[in-house]
Structure 1
Amino acid sequence: MSITERFFYLEKEPCVIYLPEKPNGFSVMLLGDYNYFIENGTSLWTQHAGRAYFLQGLIEKGYTVFSSNLYGRHWGNDRAVRLAKRLYDVVLRKETLNTKMHIMADGMGALVALEMMNKYPECIRSVVMLNPCLDLPEYVEFEKEHKFFYKRLVKELSLAYDSKEEELESKINKKSFALLPSCVPVKIFVSTQEKRGRKQLLRKYEKMRQFNQCDTSVLFHLQDVKYKMVRQTCDFFGKYEEEL
């Protein structure tokens, strides 16, 4: 089954809509990880075999999938959140779709998802996350163990938040799930090989949401089946489509 795709620009950023042959009326916003790209009529999620399999699975189920480059390595900055919301508004005007979307967030993309869940819950049905970054200050702390990656991360954050290194902490300290409450249903897929500190953070997020009686589930999986979770993803989305 071939993928029908439509590329366009929004705020000079490349965007794409993937259109199913038999639309089910629902949509999925795709928020990519730090290595995500859309350029020259292609994207990471069609180039990478595992992600392409996942994308194909969503489209075969009738989902209209849309995404933006969001300024590259945005690390959840406000500019990326605003563009994601604008993209949602544009797609809803262009396509015949239910007004509440699902979100599929990979890694760093979860930072934008958390903001949108907090600010625009009326626009979102449910959210699936793959190995999400849920707390940017904690993520930075984890990376301090790896000098090379830490230096690169600090450079990326300085660009994303238009700040000097010494000002970064005050700019990113609000980018944490603890300060972005939401009861939008969430399912998280995380590798069994994920580091202990990050697993503990996920459990903390899960407990916080369960305490607030928000539908949440965390599923651990082997690394090589990460993108084979598309059936479970579609089943999860389907649970929240009965109420239009």
Structure 2
Amino acid sequence: MLRTLLFDQQWCMLHYPEQPNGFAIFIIGDQQHYVNEESSFWIDNMGRKQMIERLTQAGYFVYYSNLFEKNWGNQQSVEHSYNLYQLIMRKEILNQKIHKLAEGMGTLTAAQLIPLMEDNIRSIVLFAPCISLEKHIEQEQTRKFYYKKLMKEIKAAFNEESVHINTEKPIEEMKESLFIIQVIDQNRYKDQLELIHQLLLKRKEKKLPVEIHYILLENRQYITEKIIRFLKENEKVL
């Protein structure tokens, strides 16, 4: 079952499983993510639609918001996400500790939610993550058209061009399990790889749970099963 709702002037989509397992997944999308009154990127894109179908078949309640589209992790997206979580928990019968699945740009918002929701996060999955906005801006400087477009989006999101978001530290220090999925042959955030490697090392040094999986774009269809396996491993303690 599918339901849409308008919350904080943003369309949100809720996917209900036929046989609920009691756990929720909050998806925070990348640059191409959108939700409107009738559809969403996760319905219109065949690969993403199949992912949602498989997650709901496994019993998960899945939800996401339009989230101001190209928000680049601004405060508005963080506050909206937190308030949406509170609304969902009031309206649905679910375990209070949720899974988060963030892709690309969505990592910037997901990371800032960690200190706000430290008692309500079960695990986090990062798909081809953008951990550092500053690093991404630096990467795009060599591509004039994309750089100009990016800076226009950032100015619209923050009302300024110089932005610093503390995202690496919350991800590095969070106690919950972290699963990173990296696409080897097509990744718009390729300059983030060194940061990700450093993040992995720091979490391992602190003996914090972390796992990384590298895939080729052509093997994307297998990733959902790996995600489900990871989620279930983190549901043993309610």
Q: What's the TM-score once normalised by structure 1's chain length?
A: 0.92
Give the one of 128, 131, 145 matched to 1:148.
145
Q: Give the drift of 1:179.
A: 6.1
Question: 1:28 maps to what in 2?
Answer: 25
Question: 1:178 maps to what in 2?
Answer: 169
Structure 1 segment 7-156 matched on structure 2, within 5 A: 7-156=4-153
Deviates more, 1:152-161 or 1:118-127: 118-127
Deviates more, 1:111-120 or 1:38-47: 111-120
Amino acid at match of 2:199: Y
- 1:212 matched to 2:209? The reply is no
1:212 & 1:117 partners in 2: Cα distance? 17
Amino acid at match of 1:27: A
Closer, same or farther: CA 64–143 of 1 in aligned 2, 3 Å: same
Deviates more, 1:178-187 or 1:5-14: 178-187
Answer whether contact 2:132 2:192 (CA < 8 A) is retained.
Answer: no
CA deviations over 1:211-239 (Å, ceiling 9, x no partner): 22211111110012234311110110111
Computed over aligned residues only, the root mean square deviation of the Cα atoms, in angstroms, reads 1.4
CA deviations over 1:179-234 (Å, ceiling 9, x no partner): 66322211011111247632222111211222222111111100122343111101
How many residue pairs align between the two structures?
235
Question: 1:234 maps to what in 2?
Answer: 228
1:16 & 1:177 partners in 2: Cα distance? 29
Q: What secondary structure does 1:42 align onto?
A: coil
CA deviations over 1:83-133 (Å, ceiling 9, x no partner): 001111111111100000000111111111111123311110001111011
Deviates more, 1:95-104 or 1:211-220: 211-220
Closer, same or farther: CA 179–126 of 1 in aligned 2, 3 Å: closer
Q: What secondary structure does 2:179 align onto?
A: strand
Question: 1:224 maps to what in 2?
Answer: 218
1:96 & 1:238 partners in 2: Cα distance? 19
Answer whether contact 2:131 2:192 (CA < 8 A) is retained.
Answer: no
What residue ranges of structure 1 are gaps of 5+ in the alignment? Answer: none
Answer whether contact 1:136 1:175 (CA < 8 A) is retained.
Answer: no
Q: What's the TM-score once normalised by structure 2's chain length?
A: 0.94
